[in-house]
Structure 1
Amino acid sequence: MTNEQAVFLADHYVSLMSGEVKTTLKVLGAVTEDGRSYRPDEKSRTAWELATHVAQSDVWFLNGVINGRFGSDGDAAESQRAGFGSIADVVRFYEREVPACLERVRAMSPEDLLRTVDFFGVVQWPAVKFLGLANNHGIHHRGQLTAYLRGLGSKVPAMYGGSADEPFTR
């Protein structure tokens, strides 16, 4: 991959992910405080666990790209999660941190985008390639959370088109 290709991919993924921020904020904000403990099955995460995972993991992935390494500090993640007192706190965190991380990615040099990053011994890719994984991971878990919304008594926001609760309008 050339420097130009790495910059193109970074710009592409930052643009895609920036476009997803608004949708993710709508889904996170649709989780009700009363519905935080909702889970569709005993094997499933609660709505709260899933909402905090969506918010924290998007930041974690982006920081891994920026820093050139992925770490696993469960205690730090748990401490951060404990600092969230409400869904509104999770929304504010996501709204503040993800756009800031995306701007830091956009400012990365081609050399930093191309440096090889190890992902827990499973794959070693150029840092820029992890942006695609980050985008897909976030959309995947946001989709899971969206499937919880009706069950916890909330409305499903429009995303890529209208929903029964938020029809597409022109």
Structure 2
Amino acid sequence: MFTKIDEFVQEFEMESAVTMRVLDSLTDESLTQAVSANQRTLGQIAWHLVGSIYYMTYLGLSFDEPLKDNGAPASAAEIAGEYRRIGQAMLRAVRSQWTDESLGQVVNIGGEDWQNGASLRYTLRHEIHHRGQMTVLMRQAGLRVPDVLGPTRDDWIDKGMEPYA
């Protein structure tokens, strides 16, 4: 759970930069990649990441820019741009509407009590989870996966090294 706004902002900015590397690697063609029939596509998961940031409004935050909610765009660049925009709107809302003390406040969501600081942590974990799903689908779509937490297989090959199996 986060107890300091600055700690959340720092971690969100770091994780957001990694997510942006993933989103910026998508192509319009790759957005239709799914692991199997009746599963979310790569584009739907990417768009879900955008929308999930906006879920913070359920905790009482008011964003100065609303989410463009007209379904998953067919443009990878549009998804990435909307992620950047709504992420910055969320940071402005957290910085201007919450304090370190309000991170301990409890909000009932769907019958469950959530502390604001715990909700911020969950938001990051949720993003990281779906980012991992996206990298698998990117490989299936034939895309190069960017560095997420260290060199990728492709990075090792580019350096003339044998990648780990």
Q: TM-score, normalised by structure 1?
A: 0.77
Shift of 1:23: 1.0
CA RMSD of aligned residues (A): 2.7
SS at match of 2:31: coil
Q: For residue 98 of structure 1, what is the amino acid of its counterpart?
A: G
The reply to whether residue 67 of structure 1 matches residue 61 of structure 2 is yes
In structure 2, the residue matched to 1:109 is 99
Contact 1:18 1:102 in 2 (8 A): no
Question: Structure 1's 166 and 55: CA in aligned 2 closer, same or farther, altered over 3 A?
Answer: farther
In structure 2, the residue matched to 1:95 is 84
Q: Which runs of 5+ in 2 are unaligned?
A: 160-165
> Which contiguous aligned blocks of 4+ residues in structure 1 show a shift greater than 6 angstroms?
none
Contact 1:66 1:105 in 2 (8 A): no
Contact 1:115 1:126 in 2 (8 A): yes
Pairing of 1:5-154 with structure 2 (within 5 A): 6=3, 8=4, 10-61=5-56, 63-67=57-61, 80-82=69-71, 84-107=73-96, 108-121=98-111, 123-154=112-143
Give the counterpart of 2:146 among 133, 136, 157. 157
Q: For residue 69 of structure 2, what is the amino acid of its counterpart?
A: Q
Question: Structure 1's 85 and 45: CA in aligned 2 closer, same or farther, altered over 3 A?
Answer: closer
Shift of 1:101: 1.1
Q: TM-score, normalised by structure 2?
A: 0.79
CA distance in 1, matches of 2:91, 2:27: 27
CA distance in 2, matches of 1:22, 1:111: 27
Shift of 1:82: 3.0
CA distance in 1, matches of 2:72, 2:146: 27
Count how many residue pairs are aligned between Structure 1 and Structure 2. 154
CA distance in 2, matches of 1:43, 1:14: 36
Shift of 1:99: 2.3
